[in-house]
Structure formats: structure tokens, C-alpha cells
Amino acid sequence: MKSLIVSILTFLGIISPGQPISEGQKAPDFKLVADSGKEVRLHDYLGKWIVLYFYPKADTPHCTQQAKEYSKLLEEFDKENAVVFGISTDGLEKIREFKKKHNLKITFLSDPEGKVAKTYGVKLILGMCSRDTVIINPKGIVEKIYRGVDPKADPHRVLEYIKAKNQSLSAK
């Protein structure tokens, strides 16, 4: 039943499905503008863990909760050689206001047309990203994909995943 509803909403143009992406494949490169105004390219961060968390809309309750959790954990992500990017279809001004209003520490990227989101398999629903997280390993390979994440638990689960992977790599 759920797939029928998704098919109808896709046909009507309410949902725009992303491209299929799989764990283990090379992460597609991209270039987006950050809240700082600086261009961010994925390949500039090779050698680090990269967390791309896609969220629907800045300054809404769940998106704010998720951004605050990632911001609280940012130092721990840094210790694990990981960088975190929050991505939405919001424009730069909206994400700048969001970041300032809530004193958020992570870097936000604007994907106004949702092209990067679709490349990473994120569904666009009425032009907004579904809440998905993609973890890219230091070699530039899609390590883990979480779809439809819980905004409060997601940052903690992602950090624990990266910590565990780093521990297993250092044990070798």
C-alpha cells in the first residue's frame, strides 16, 4: 500500500525520488555553497569521514533538534577525523539565519534545486529533502546510508558508527 501511495505522489509530482545510491560505491562529488559563502567540494575532504545529513527545512522543530545535537557533538566528530555537513534546499539567507538564531556550529550547505540530494538518493517532497544521512569514509566511498532518521538519535548513532569503524581500523 505504501509503495502505491509513493507511486501516486511521484506521478503527481509531489515526491521527486532521488537516484539510487548504494553503500560501497564511490561517493558522487559535488560543489555547494556553505553558510559562510565558501564553495564546498566533496573531494576537498577526502582523508576524513564525511557526514552528509539531509534535512527538510531550517528552523522547524525537528530540524532544529537535529542540528543542535550535531553541534553539541561536533568536537567529538572532530576527534574522529569527521566533518559534518547539514544539507537542505533552503537558500543561503535562510540557513544563515537558522545557524545564527540557534548558535549552531556545524556547516550548512544550500542545495536549492535539490540536485545533490537527488544524487544521494534523497527524496524531495514538495521541494524539501527527506531526513536521510550518508556517511562517506576517508577513501571517498559511501560507507553507510540511513533513510528516514530520527532527528535526536541520528547524530549519536552516526558518531558511534564512526568511532567503531575507527577503532576497528586502528586495531588492524
State residue 25's pLDDT score. 95
pLDDT tens digits along 101-148 = 999 999 999 999 999 999 999 988 888 999 999 999 999 999 999 999
Domain that holds residue 68: 16-171
Counting the structural domains of the chain, the total is 1
Residue 130 lies in a domain: yes
C-alpha dihedral, 100 to 49 to 44 to 85, nearest 10°? -20
Question: CATH no. for residue 88?
Answer: 3.40.30.10
Q: Do residues 131 and 22 make contact, with C-beta atoms less than 8 angstroms apart?
A: no
Residue 77 lies in a domain: yes
Distance (Å, whole) CA 169 – CA 172: 5
Distance (Å, whole) CA 20 – CA 22: 7
Residue 1 lies in a domain: no
Residue 37 lies in a domain: yes
Q: Predicted confidence band at 19 (pLDDT cuts at 50, 70, 90)?
A: low
Q: Are strands 107-110 and 82-88 parallel, antiparallel or unpaired?
A: parallel
HSE-up (13 A, CA, CB side) for residue 27: 28
Residue 145 lies in a domain: yes
Residue 11 lies in a domain: no
State residue 1's pLDDT score. 53
State residue 147's pLDDT score. 93
Residue 141 lies in a domain: yes
Q: 142: phi > 0 → left, psi -120 to 50 → alpha, else beta; which?
A: beta
Catalytic residues: 63
pLDDT tens digits along 37-94 = 999 999 999 999 999 999 999 999 999 999 999 999 999 999 999 999 999 999 999 9
Q: Confirm whether pTM is higher than 0.85.
A: yes
Distance (Å, whole) CA 40 – CA 45: 9
Residue 32 lies in a domain: yes
- Residues contacting residue 119 through CB under 8 Å, at least 6 positions apart: 18, 19, 21, 28, 30
